[in-house]
């Protein structure tokens, strides 16, 4: 392991204009007296994408190329776990997020989301979730419990973040698969939705579209959700999605709610073309916060811990585009100042998590990706 005690590499306070939603789009550099120690716990990971802590203090880390590896609390990185299913590692697809069962201490069950090959051997893949029993460095009893429909032959906008709520329901974020953005308004398929299932893959009886062709859908009108977490006090599910060119969003997820994509958006197409001239429409939710220009956020969690006491309850996200960890202060339930850390490292931050002692962990998205630990 390599340790280096450094001062805060970059801090930027961002002024916010509050309306129905909040946009952060102006930067005012200011100094800080904070000091963060950055420890490289592991390196040599091939585009690490998701991570989860085990009760032992060990961590499971996914590699987009197709692997799942175990990082012990002592800093030893395993080889790839055995019996990991085949993935379609194409562009943004591959082995993506991972989480553990709420009763992991009793059942050793893990869940992971990945781009699964078509069952009929045809070209294409779907965002799919499998569950398995973790036995040391091996997966056993691997079972696919959900596959997004239909199968698509491209490598973009898979979503694939996972979180359990207090009722032990599993939420799976899904993307619009890029070329199918209009289908994000159709609740009879899985494009651009967040789905909710039981741990065995069955559909909760109170899901809002239980009688449709995609009964797993819980909310819709999403573009490509790259972060999901549960609020530590309210229990509400919060999600973060990539906009096009502008319009990245954080949303509080509500049952049956329509988040607007692509009918309303704060962004434009990468070509400069207008996707929609509307940012508001009746019956569609406004984001809790949006970014214009985009920061390409990935990974989302609330900070709960004693190590960075002044950060308590704030939101932490990674930025791929601007290579930093971002902290969003919350005041009276609304976004306030935002701060950037580690931008000068030049590392794309793919995921962020916090351990039981309040230390912060980051994954850097690179061919030689790293697990970083931030402490004071």
Catalytic residues: 157
Coil, strand or helix at 363: strand
C-alpha 356/C-alpha 358 separation (Å) is: 6
* Residues 316 and 325 sit within 8 Å (Cβ to Cβ): yes
**CA distances (Å), origin 54, targets 12, 72, 153, 290:** 34, 10, 35, 33
Q: What are phi and psi of 343, to 5 degrees?
A: -60, -35
364 backbone φψ class: left, alpha, beta (φ>0; ψ -120 to 50): beta
Q: In what order do the strands lie in the sheet with 12-18?
A: 12-18, 22-29, 289-291, 248-252, 237-241, 225-230
What are the tokens at 120? Answer: 């009929």
25: closest CA among 267, 342, 299?
Answer: 267
DSSP string, 252-296: E--TT-B--TTTS-S-B-TTS--S-S-S--TT-PPPSEEESS---
C-alpha 131/C-alpha 38 separation (Å) is: 33
């Amino acid at each position: 392991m390599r340790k280096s005690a450094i001062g805060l590499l970059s801090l930027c306070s961002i002024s916010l204009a509050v309306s129905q939603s909040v946009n952060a789009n102006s930067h005012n550099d200011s100094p800080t007296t904070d000091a963060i120690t950055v420890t490289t716990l592991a390196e040599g990971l091939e585009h690490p994408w998701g991570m989860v802590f085990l009760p032992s203090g060990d961590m499971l880390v996914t590699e987009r190329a197709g692997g799942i590896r175990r990082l012990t609390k002592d800093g030893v990185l395993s080889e790839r776990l055995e019996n990991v299913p085949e993935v379609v590692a194409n562009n943004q697809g591959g082995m993506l997020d991972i989480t553990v069962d709420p009763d992991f201490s009793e059942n050793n069950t893990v869940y992971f989301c990945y781009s699964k090959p078509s069952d009929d051997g045809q070209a294409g893949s779907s965002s799919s979730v499998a569950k398995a029993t973790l036995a040391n460095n091996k997966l056993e009893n691997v079972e696919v419990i959900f596959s997004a429909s239909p199968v698509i032959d491209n490598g973009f906008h898979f979503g694939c973040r996972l979180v359990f709520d207090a009722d032990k329901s599993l939420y799976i974020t899904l993307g619009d698969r890029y070329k199918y953005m209009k289908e994000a308004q159709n609740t009879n398929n899985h494009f651009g939705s967040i789905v909710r299932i039981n741990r065995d893959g069955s559909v909760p009886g109170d899901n809002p579209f239980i009688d449709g062709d995609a009964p797993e859908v819980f909310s819709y009108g999403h573009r490509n959700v790259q972060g999901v977490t549960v609020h530590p006090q309210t229990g509400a599910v919060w999600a973060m999605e990539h906009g096009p060119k502008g319009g990245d969003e954080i949303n509080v997820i509500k049952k049956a709610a329509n988040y607007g994509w692509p009918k309303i958006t704060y962004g434009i197409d990468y070509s400069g073309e207008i996707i929609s001239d509307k940012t508001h429409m009746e019956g569609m939710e406004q984001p809790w916060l949006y970014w214009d220009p985009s920061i390409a956020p990935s990974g989302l969690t609330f900070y709960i811990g004693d190590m960075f006491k002044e950060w308590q309850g704030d939101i932490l996200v990674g930025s791929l585009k601007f290579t930093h960890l971002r902290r969003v202060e919350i005041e009276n339930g609304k976004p306030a100042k935002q701060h950037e850390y580690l931008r000068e490292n030049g590392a794309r931050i793919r995921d962020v998590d916090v351990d039981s002692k309040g230390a912060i962990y980051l994954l850097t998205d690179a061919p030689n990706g790293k697990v970083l630990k931030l402490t004071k």
